[in-house]
Structure 1
Amino acid sequence: MSFRLNEWVQPLIALLLIVAIVGASFLVIAPFLVAMLWAIIVVSATWEQFSWLSARLGGRDGLAASLIVGVLMLFILVPLVLASVEFAQQLTRLARLLQQQIESGSWPALPAWLQNLPYAGEWLQTQWAGLQQQDLQVLTPLKGLIAPLAKMMLSMAGSFGAGMLMLLISLLIAGVLYANGETIHRWVLAFSHKVAPNEGVRLLAVAHTTVRGVVNGFIGAAIAQGAFAWFGYALAGVPHALSFGLATCLLSVIPGGPMILALPAIGWLYQHGSIGWAIFVAVWTLFAVGSIDNVVKSLVIGRNSPLPIVLILFGVAGGAMSFGLLGVFLGPILLALVYALLKNWVNSDDKTLKIQS
């Protein structure tokens, strides 16, 4: 009896030790898990370009990895850092100007187009007159908003700084993956074969094509949205239409970003009496620019993924709601893998039924 108990205890202790080691390892890499996922997505989507560059450099993967990571930093990280510094300076200047205006009471006249706004125009005139006359009933709530506003700005700056650090770490991890790509690829293939001997390699191919399709879909949608936005702004006579189109391209990854960017242009058109063109820009941005996003993503992702278009839309939207921006990529990948597994399972049952019949 004790001999049989010993046969059970030793494997159980070994299993517990393995679980403890794996759990401790996960705790170690957990802070970098998001950065690792971003690095895997970037490397998977750009592996063909890296392979081409490495071949041109005589197979020197380390040099090719350094060059491609440097290019990614130059075109992604550096502009974001410069934009964040400029944004922080403008917010600080705005907060200082608001404080000076409250203390001095020298407020400019309220623009006529704000005074003539339906429903809100009269209320704005009353509140603006209170500011100019240093009315305590108006100034006290406004002063109370300064501290929470400053706290919110600091929180936003901290989140943005953490995001920049995570992006830098993900690019460095991507460099390591590029430089050791062939070795890691062989190890992943062997691991997938151990886990799923018949379907592991095919599921890896499905995940790779889905990642590439999602990334290309987002890039294609961003370019299309920027072009459509530029056309609408130029047609309406908005100044710096090309700059607005470029900004729309960059902000297209943010839900509602193109519409938020269109608000100043709509306000400018309304202020200059072009009410019809203001309505046109609003409708064009909301429907034409907004809808082209889903159309391009569905077409490009669907061409590179075995998922039906409906499941692609569910994967993008559901992943974004569950995991944020990273979920936009993870959602279609997970659905594609589950779809491939279920399809293979159903097909294997069909083959068995045909053989039996």
Structure 2
Amino acid sequence: MLLTPVTQRVLSKELLDVPIRAGLVAVLAVFCFRIFVPFLNLMVWALILAVTLYPLQVRLRGPLAGKDGLIATLIILVAFAVILVPTYLLGVAVANSLERAMTVFRSGSFQIPPPAESVAAWSLVGHRVYDFWAQASSDLTGLAQKFAPQLKEAGLALLGTVTGLGAALLVFCLALIVAGIFMAHGEKGYRSAVLISSRISGPENGVQITDLCTATIRAVAQGVVGIAFIQMLLIGIAFIVMGVPGAGLLALAVLLIGIMQLPATLITVPVIIFVIVTEGVSTATIIFSVYVFVAGLADNVLKPLLLGRGVAVPMPVVLIGALGGMVTGGVTGLFIGPVMLAVGYQLFWRWVKDQPQPQRAQEQKQA
């Protein structure tokens, strides 16, 4: 079929317009992303917090009907109190402890007791531990000078960690404020999410995908925070009963470590060693050690039970998504990972089940 010159010019113009438009859209998308990327972490956290806290806002609509802005403000103020008050108390306690330690160290009254002879009999590391401990008890200043470069690096790493925690706390507080704004317009936000999901995955999947993402975020948030809180109670009670110094601060550290998805054994094992060294081996210390060690591993049992609740996908999908997201994307990936994996799982199986029927089955139906 021969095309007229006019038709050829029209087709040529249309073929030229398509890549130009696509290029302009790509440039616009790149510029928008570069402008928005400094706030990406903040907005992701705000969205996660808003989705997690929104059921509380729905429950409070009974006594405060028609006042979504007031409800969201009250929730955010309570969240600020829950977060900032323990953080302030922890900071004051740590600062006082450091000040007392520096005072004792400068006065020269700080002494490390010499090791017992039985330490040298420990297998593999006994002699090294005994020599190091003995030098620390007799010449602590010389030992500190010997390891001065390592201590300097550790101090810089600790300072960087503290700075990073401060910046993360600031971002979290700002995310709480933005989350309050999201919750005050929760209904509009949900409708917008449904429209976006429908545009991406089709009108028949929009509501289902939106509800799946919402349920997954809430399940992970409640599971992570809930498991960390349960571990804090189990371990903190044992610390208080045993009279461990700073039991409250150590319990709070267990809560923070659990939220960061680090093992609670980072706290429990050193405390067990401290109790055995100071109190000796007895029935009480053995029971305490076994109980605290098992409680530190409780998250391995609780995660499979809590992470998949209320989600329309198998629990292993959520668990694998949370662990994989944590490895690849940090704490934010802990939420994004299971959401993406759950959505992909649902779409994949919907595509698998949506198969054309065999020709014979169609002919039988027609007959």
Q: Which amino acid aligns with 2:327?
A: M
Q: Which aligned pairs between 1:260-339 and structure 2 lie closer than 5 A?
A: 260-262=266-268, 263-275=270-282, 277-286=284-293, 288-339=294-345
Does 1:73 find its partner at 2:76?
A: no
Partner of residue 172, structure 1: 177
Q: 1:282 to 1:81 in 2, by over 3 A?
A: same
Distance 1:114 1:64 in 2: 64
Does 1:58 find its partner at 2:65?
A: yes
Distance 1:79 1:71 in 2: 13
Distance 1:231 1:72 in 2: 24
Instruction: Give yes or no for contact 2:213–2:343 (8 Å, CA) kept in 1.
Output: yes
Partner of residue 131, structure 2: 123
Q: Higher mean Cα deviation, 196-205 or 225-234?
A: 225-234
Distance 2:282 2:41 in 1: 46
Unmatched 5+ residue regions in structure 2? 1-7
Equivalent residue for 2:197, pick from 192, 197, 218? 192
Alpha-carbon distance, 1:159 to partner: 0.6
Instruction: Give yes or no for contact 1:220–1:296 (8 Å, CA) kept in 2.
Output: no
Q: Which aligned pairs between 1:1-357 and structure 2 lie closer than 5 A?
A: 1-84=8-91, 86-87=93-94, 90-91=97-98, 94=101, 100=106, 107-110=110-113, 112=115, 116=119, 118=122, 119=126, 120-128=128-136, 131=139, 135=142, 138-195=143-200, 196-230=202-236, 232-233=238-239, 237-239=242-244, 243=248, 248-262=254-268, 263-275=270-282, 277-286=284-293, 288-349=294-355, 352-353=357-358, 356=362
Cα displacement string for residues 211-251 of structure 1 (whole angstroms, at most 9, x for unaligned residues): 1111221233123323432465577x345797355653454
Q: Which amino acid aligns with 1:186?
A: R
Alpha-carbon distance, 1:258 to partner: 2.6
| Root-mean-square deviation (Å) | 3.1
Give TM-score scaled by structure 1 length. 0.84
Q: Which amino acid aligns with 2:224?
A: F
Q: Higher mean Cα deviation, 32-41 or 241-250?
A: 241-250
Q: Which amino acid aligns with 2:266?
A: I
Q: Which amino acid aligns with 2:209?
A: L
Cα displacement string for residues 120-155 of structure 1 (whole angstroms, at most 9, x for unaligned residues): 4421244225525x65xx353233344334322321
Name the count of aligned residue pairs. Answer: 347
Instruction: Give yes or no for contact 1:225–1:292 (8 Å, CA) kept in 2.
Output: yes
Unmatched 5+ residue regions in structure 1? none
Report the secondary structure of 1:324's partner residue: helix
Kindly, what percent of the aligned residue pairs are identical? 25
Instruction: Give yes or no for contact 1:266–1:278 (8 Å, CA) kept in 2.
Output: no
Cα displacement string for residues 307-354 of structure 1 (whole angstroms, at most 9, x for unaligned residues): 3233233222211111112222222212111111112112212x7359
Distance 2:37 2:192 in 1: 22
Q: 1:114 to 1:97 in 2, by over 3 A?
A: farther
Instruction: Give yes or no for contact 2:42–2:174 (8 Å, CA) kept in 1.
Output: yes
Give 1 or 2 for the bigger CA radius of gyration.
2
Q: 1:122 to 1:240 in 2, by over 3 A?
A: closer
Distance 2:266 2:290 in 1: 13
Instruction: Give yes or no for contact 2:234–2:295 (8 Å, CA) kept in 1.
Output: yes
